A and B are shown apart, each in its own frame.
Chain A
């Protein structure tokens, strides 16, 4: 158990809908990261937050948005869903920024999103 909690574990929704994925980081971790992993694809970095502020942005679509709240949990909002958005969405957390080699990044078990 990495200590990173993601909900829901599985989600099936229709095209055009909006969903919210939730992530609770490990206790004490200030950084939260979101990744997308489509079937048979590698992990794609979406966005990173550090202590409530956006720290880095990757290949995140404009239909997607995220935020980190004062209690450090984070939410990833996916709107106007398309079939191609079906994927496993991972949240990860770490104590500090990734430039620090002593900063292990811990991944949650992911949220499976299926868009039908």
Chain B
């Protein structure tokens, strides 16, 4: 069964600090991995999309990494801002068009 596990479930960081979120998956055959940001009660917004051959992709202060061999990805948030408070969802796409969603990591940034 295709699964996506995210850790930690939640974290609290101070404004200006960095943090890293983890995503482990068992989806096969793998097509691509996506990170989404979801504000409470809003629709998810795409941050990055990575394929098998990509190791790192950045979007502003967000940097995603992918190790397709170990089936692990991380999302690093640099110099966090209050607006980064949200749920971050890892989504893995298999080649059969099906998406597998992680449960998300809730990030709370405090002043």
Contacts and interface: CB of A to CB of B under 8 A. Distances in A.
Interface of B: 31-32, 34, 36, 41-46, 49-51, 89, 93-104
B93 A104 contact: no
Interface of A: 2, 4, 33, 41-45, 48, 55-56, 58, 88, 90, 92, 97-99, 101-102, 104-110
B43 A108 contact: yes
9 contacts: A45-B100, A56-B96, A90-B43, A98-B32, A98-B97, A98-B98, A104-B46, A105-B34, A105-B46
Contacts of A110: 41-43
Nearest to A102: B49
Q: Which of A33, A88, A98, A107 has the largest number of chain B CB atoms within 10 A?
A: A98
Contacts, number: 65
A55 B93 CA distance: 14
